[in-house]
Amino acid sequence: MSDSQTHKTSDPKANLTEICARIETAAKRAGRSADEVSLIAVAKRQPPDRIDALLQAGHRVFGENRVQEAADKWPALKRAYPDVELHMVGPLQSNKAADAIALFDVIHSIDRMKLARKVAEEIAAAQRDPELFVQINTGEEPQKSGVMPRQADEFIRQCREELQLRISGLMCLPPIDEEASLHFALLAKIARRNGVENLSMGMSGDFETAIIFGATHIRVGTALFGDRDP
Ligand SMILES: *Cc1c(COP(=O)(O)O)cnc(C)c1O
């Protein structure tokens, strides 16, 4: 069994070139500039040599979905590449908030008041100022984290007014069996009416659609790196 056999190429540098070209094309189609779209290379469960390949190719924006895995991998890589920008894209437990704030530059998964309060406390204590995105459960899936769409406005207001959190984006993870564009459009609409500038949406299979619908951050794993370790 080999990853290189299940993915068209396991050469992350070549994949990066191809993905950047596709971002460029999608942005152009949408009348946007590719500079408005940040490509987050989601490095969870990827072998170190693939991450090194992207770093050596000059890529600096990476994502992880677990605090512990990120804490094992990234402090050393950040020493070697101080301009790395690290994004937390997975669900965050309140008891990991301090670690997450120490490590990440952007957190995409603020999804409940308990966590928002903890994050506000830890930001004050650590004198760090990570960018914060609110995750919206656009598909209203019970097993998935995220604020329900009808509660989004009130949640964002509370984060901003009561906790003084700087909410700069929204994130969603559409249901796998539904048309992603409906979810991207809903996320964009919630962002617009709340004056939120950034949209974290689109993954390996649908980032071009997400760009058409206004994504400012796309989270791409397997299309860049190849298949993940189990
Ligand atoms: C793993 C992950 C991704 C990347 O998924 P791919 O399909 O490999 O591109 C994006 N977003 C989140 C939240 C993830 O956990």
Does a structural domain hold residue 230? no
Beta strands in the chain (DSSP E): 38-42, 61-64, 85-88, 106-110, 131-135, 167-171, 198-200, 217-220
User: Do residues 64 and 194 make contact, with C-beta atoms less than 8 angstroms apart?
Assistant: no
**Residue 16 domain boundaries:** 7-225
Which pTM was predicted? Answer: 0.95
CB distance 145 to ligand 1 below 6 Å: no
Atom of ligand 1 nearest to the CA of 222: 8
- The CATH number that applies at residue 71 is 3.20.20.10
Residue nearest to atom 12 of ligand 1 (CA): 89
User: Rounded CA gap, 74 and 186, in Å?
Assistant: 33
CB distance 171 to ligand 1 below 6 Å: no
pLDDT at residue 4 in the model: 39
Task: Give pLDDT tens digits for 9-35.
Answer: 579 999 999 999 999 999 999 999 999
pLDDT at residue 5 in the model: 43
User: Do residues 22 and 209 make contact, with C-beta atoms less than 8 angstroms apart?
Assistant: no
CB distance 220 to ligand 1 below 6 Å: yes
Does a structural domain hold residue 2? no
Mutate to test the pocket of ligand 1, among 23, 42, 207 (most ligand atoms within 8 A of CB): 42
Q: What is the mean pLDDT of each run of 10 residues along the chain (230 residues)?
A: 46 97 98 98 97 98 98 97 98 97 98 98 94 98 97 98 97 96 98 98 98 98 94
Does a structural domain hold residue 196? yes
